[in-house]
């Protein structure tokens, strides 16, 4: 018995198959494009500690609409809650950003059950990239510590300092010299760093004289001073020095830069303190953005670990550069924080994301391996 084929159905089926094949080819082509063309060789992660949207906009007002970070084309909002609390601290937030894992407030580089987890900085080291940390606080403080250490309590500063010796970090710049020398265990970690081929700098001029190799610049006994008390251009200059040294690695690099004291201005409910520190942090962002513009293979990510102070802006004037601020707390808040990105892979950051997503996206863009959700 002859088989009757409906020609209209046959034509429709063929057309459908053609379009389906074309769509699959387009999707495959897009995936290849993301993997090859949008993968950065270098990532610079800049964290304004305590910098919420209000802190950013107050600084934008004070600079009369001249804040470099706001020139980034890709923007997201970041949720910051920790495993233990609706309102995170810097230890848990730093751990989330650095490792992709939520943890209990106060813990560094560990899950709530005290299982150590690996940071993006250590993954970068393991894959042959150069790595660095720059901060305007003691280098063992919570945010930088989250990239280098695994400890139960953020107050374990001397143990955190010791764990710098367990890594192969190339450059670290900040305060905290005393935690490497005036120690309860009587160890002199400066000697240990020298044995590991680090060049030690205790002043900015000494730091600037170093043009190659590994650098440990511990520029202050404890924390650096405030901008208003004479710190000067330590952060942007240190950022430039770190980039100079790290960019010599042909495999690429990962650098974290922290504007630490925006947070302290929030705790003090001191708007001028916040403005000085945020504008200084933005200068470091400008150094990073200029480097990336010339380099062409660098992803810039600018964000915060949390908001501090519950700052609102009930008044102000952009023309005169005078914001007015009010605070609702002397502590952190749960308000999501902004994220700005520019460069290869920057379009992966959009919408409302979790702070753990920052690690996951960096990890994928570096191409280390596939992370299962």
Q: Which residue has the tokens 């010599």?
A: 248
Q: Report the C-alpha dihedral over residues 164, 225, 156, 243, rounded to 10 degrees.
A: -20
Distance between CA 280 and CA 274 in Å, rounded?
Answer: 10
Structure tokens at 16: 């459908």
Distance between CA 120 and CA 95 in Å, rounded?
Answer: 10
Residue 348 to residues 53, 159, 354: CA-CA distances in angstroms?
21, 36, 13
Beta bridge pairs of residue 193: none
The single-letter DSSP state of residue 372 is P
- The burial class, CB within 10 Å (0-12 / 13-18 / 19+), for 336 is buried
Residues 6 or more apart whose CB falls under 8 angstroms from that of 210 comprise 199, 201, 241, 245
301 touches 311 (CB < 8 A):
no
Distance between CA 133 and CA 172 in Å, rounded?
Answer: 5
Catalytically annotated residues: 90
Distance between CA 145 and CA 153 in Å, rounded?
Answer: 11
Structure tokens at 256: 């974290």
Work out whether strand 214-220 and strand 322-326 pair parallel, antiparallel, or are unpaired: unpaired
CA-based nearest residue to 251, from 98, 120, 125: 125
Structure tokens at 11: 């034509």
């Amino acid at each position: 018995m002859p088989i009757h084929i409906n020609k209209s159905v046959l034509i429709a089926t063929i057309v459908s198959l053609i379009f389906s094949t074309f769509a699959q080819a387009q999707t495959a082509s897009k995936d290849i494009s993301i993997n090859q063309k949008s993968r950065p060789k270098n990532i610079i992660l800049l964290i304004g500690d305590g910098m919420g949207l209000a802190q950013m906009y107050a600084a934008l007002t004070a600079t009369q609409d001249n804040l470099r970070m706001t020139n980034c084309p890709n923007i997201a909002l970041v949720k910051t809650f920790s495993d233990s609390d609706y309102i995170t601290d810097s230890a848990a937030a730093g751990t989330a950003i650095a490792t992709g894992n939520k943890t209990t407030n106060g813990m560094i580089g560990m899950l709530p059950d005290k299982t150590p987890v690996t940071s993006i900085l250590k993954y970068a080291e393991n894959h042959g990239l150069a790595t660095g940390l720059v901060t305007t606080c003691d280098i063992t403080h919570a945010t930088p510590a989250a990239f280098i250490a695994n400890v139960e309590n953020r107050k374990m500063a001397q143990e955190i300092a010791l764990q710098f010796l367990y890594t192969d970090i190339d450059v670290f710049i900040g305060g905290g010299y005393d935690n490497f020398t005036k120690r309860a265990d009587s160890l002199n970690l400066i000697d240990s760093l020298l044995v590991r081929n680090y060049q030690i700098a205790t002043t900015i001029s000494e730091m600037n004289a170093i043009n190659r190799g590994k650098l440990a610049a511990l520029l202050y006994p404890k924390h650096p001073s405030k901008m208003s008390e004479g710190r000067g251009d330590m952060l942007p200059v240190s950022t430039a020095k770190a980039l100079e040294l790290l960019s010599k690695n042909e495999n690429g690099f990962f650098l974290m830069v922290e504007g630490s004291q925006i947070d302290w201005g929030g705790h003090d409910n001191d708007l001028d303190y916040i403005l000085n520190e945020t504008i200084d942090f933005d200068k470091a962002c400008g150094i990073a953005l200029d480097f990336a513009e010339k380099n062409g293979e660098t992803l810039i990510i600018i964000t915060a670990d949390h908001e501090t102070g519950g700052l609102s802006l009930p008044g102000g004037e952009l023309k005169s550069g005078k914001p007015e601020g009010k605070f609702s707390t002397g502590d952190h808040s749960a308000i999501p924080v902004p994220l700005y990105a520019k460069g290869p892979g920057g379009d992966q950051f959009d919408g409302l994301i979790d702070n753990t997503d920052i690690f996951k996206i960096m990890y994928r863009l570096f191409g280390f391996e596939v992370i299962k959700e």
